Amino acid sequence: MQETAWSRLLAKVLTIPSLVAAGAAGLVENVSEARERVQPVLDFLGTVPWWVPLLAVSAAGIAIWRSQRRAEQGTVDLYRTAKLTP
């Protein structure tokens, strides 16, 4: 049960920042005043290598996969030992 809770948490860690970033990007692209205010941040983020965000998303995805795999293995083991019935 703990593993599925971790999976839900990790999924939220991926989803919420993605939604916020997408909304902010849409706002910045369409409102010139907002673009002027966040330009220093955009300049800084432009110096970050392209592989860093990709690596972060990949690491979170792997963590979710491992968590789900452990939960599935635990369920299978309980079923095999007859401690869990369908």
**Contact, 8 vs 67, CB < 8 A?**
no
Structure confidence at residue 27 (pLDDT)? 80
Structure confidence at residue 20 (pLDDT)? 84
Instruction: Identify residue 73 by its one-letter amino acid code.
Output: Q
Q: How many residues does the chain have?
A: 86
Please measure the distance between the N-terminal and C-terminal CA atoms of the chain and give it in whole angstroms: 17
List CB contacts of 85: < 8 A, sequence separation 6 or more. Answer: 79
In angstroms, the CA 86 to CA 71 distance is 16
How does pLDDT run across 11-47, given as a tens digit for each residue? 888 888 888 888 888 887 888 887 888 888 888 888 8
Domain locations along the chain: 2-80
